[in-house]
Amino acid sequence: MKEISRDVVIGVDLGGSAIRLGVINDQGRLFGFKSIEIPQSRKKEVVLSLITEGIRKHIQDQISIGNNVLAVGIGSPGIINPDKGLVVTSPNFPGWTNVPLKSLLEKSFNLPVFLDNDANSAAFGEKWRGAGRRVNSLVCLTMGTGIGGGIILNGEVWRGAHGMSGEIGHITVNPEGPKCNCGNYGCLESYSSATGMVRSAIGSIKKGTRTILLRLTTGEIKKIDAKLIHEAAIKGDRLSLNILKEAGMYLGIAIANLMNILNPDMIVLTGAVTGSWDFFMPAAQLEVRKRALKTIVGRTRIVKGKLRGTAGIVGAAGIAWRQSGHI
């Protein structure tokens, strides 16, 4: 008698501080979630070996319970070439240039491997199993240390002509704004990412603005992070409230632009910064109502992601499921 074997895909979300992975079935259900810490050194060989061993362990587990691993889907930060399976460059891994992650893993496991940008993966995850299940098009913003973006049109990831679409963190929202790591001035990321908000806070403190952030860090301004700004805002700290409001204002400008350009069904916001939703969203909504075309405002829903920390894993696996022709 033949055993009942279930098909599964391994989903991997490669982050700056951890490799997060799990097993995803064709319904997008996640099993066996695991997070593997990446050592501070972030050496290429070490990271690649951690990824490989993490996947190997999951494959072995699946085989041992009689399941059939069809493919591996992996989302990575940075500029990705999905066709060639390369991590072209990655802000989190300075030494990585044209790393052939897809072919390296395919050789290790003799399985098809699908590599994509982490924000594309999160966007597809939210479309497949999250906030965007019932819509045809969405733009997903991943708001954390930086701001990434993924665009879903007609239910599929729009990757652009060179696999570089969705760089929404680098929309210019203020031509005269501060310089961004990308070389541009006044990028969305300069205001509405965790890094951007911390930069604003430190800048204001250096100009003499009073804030309880100083007390909360006992004067060590290097310890200020987005979480602390959120906590200070809860306590009514004027500076922190203003920073979150400004983050929302520029986010609203970017969202209005996206709505006017793409007219998607939905805008999905994910990532750690969305924890401060109540502090930044009113300002964002004000800008959207002011700046998006009147015929569009109200039709486009702006929502929080539903998969939280797992959108990237589920989406990376979903892309593998889709591209291997199984869903």
Is residue 303 involved in binding a copy of itself (CB under 8 A)? no
In terms of CB distance, is 253 or 311 closer to a copy of itself? 253
Window 137 to 166, contacts with a copy of itself (CB under 8 A): 137, 149, 151, 153, 158-166
Is residue 286 involved in binding a copy of itself (CB under 8 A)? no
Amino acid (1-letter code) at residue 318: G
Is residue 85 involved in binding a copy of itself (CB under 8 A)? no
Q: Among 263, 285, 323, 324, which residue sits at the site for a copy of itself (rule: CB under 8 A)?
A: 263
Question: For residue 294, what is the enclosing H or E element?
Answer: none
- Residue 1 neighbours by CB distance under 10 Å: 3
Window 186 to 205, contacts with a copy of itself (CB under 8 A): none
Is residue 323 involved in binding a copy of itself (CB under 8 A)? no
The residue among 257, 279, 276 whose CA lies nearest residue 267 is 257
Pairing of strands 113-117, 68-76: parallel
183 Cβ partners below 8 Å, 6+ apart? none
**C-alpha torsion angle, residues 183, 185, 189, 190 (rounded to 10):** 110
In terms of CB distance, is 25 or 242 closer to a copy of itself? 242
- Contacting range for a copy of itself; rule: CB under 8 A; set: 67-75, 112-120, 183-191, 233-241: 183-191
Is residue 88 involved in binding a copy of itself (CB under 8 A)? yes
Is residue 20 involved in binding a copy of itself (CB under 8 A)? no
The residue among 124, 157, 164 whose CA lies nearest residue 9 is 124
- Residue 23 neighbours by CB distance under 10 Å: 23
In terms of CB distance, is 90 or 310 closer to a copy of itself? 90
In terms of CB distance, is 153 or 212 closer to a copy of itself? 153
Instruction: Round to whole Å and give the CA distance between 200 and 76.
Output: 28
Is residue 98 involved in binding a copy of itself (CB under 8 A)? no
Instruction: Round to whole Å and give the CA distance between 324 and 303.
Output: 30
Question: For residue 227, what is the enclosing H or E element?
Answer: helix 226-234
Q: Among 35, 89, 103, 108, which residue sits at the site for a copy of itself (rule: CB under 8 A)?
A: 89
> Minimum distance from CB of 156 to a copy of itself (Å)?
9
What are the φ/ψ torsions at residue 83 (nearest 5 degrees)?
-65, -45
> Minimum distance from CB of 78 to a copy of itself (Å)?
10
> Minimum distance from CB of 302 to a copy of itself (Å)?
13
The residue among 241, 76, 215, 73 whose CA lies nearest residue 142 is 76
> Minimum distance from CB of 28 to a copy of itself (Å)?
23
Is residue 302 involved in binding a copy of itself (CB under 8 A)? no
- Contacting range for a copy of itself; rule: CB under 8 A; set: 4-12, 54-62, 254-262, 271-279: 254-262
Cα separation values, 42 from 88, 139, 292, Å: 17, 30, 42
Is residue 243 involved in binding a copy of itself (CB under 8 A)? no
Is residue 133 involved in binding a copy of itself (CB under 8 A)? no
299 Cβ partners below 8 Å, 6+ apart? none
Supply 25's token pair: 């079935």
Is residue 185 involved in binding a copy of itself (CB under 8 A)? yes
Instruction: Round to whole Å and give the CA distance between 130 and 102.
Output: 26
Q: Which residues bind a copy of itself (CB under 8 A)?
A: 79, 88-89, 135-137, 149, 151, 153, 158-168, 170-175, 182-185, 253, 256-258, 260-265, 290-296, 299-300
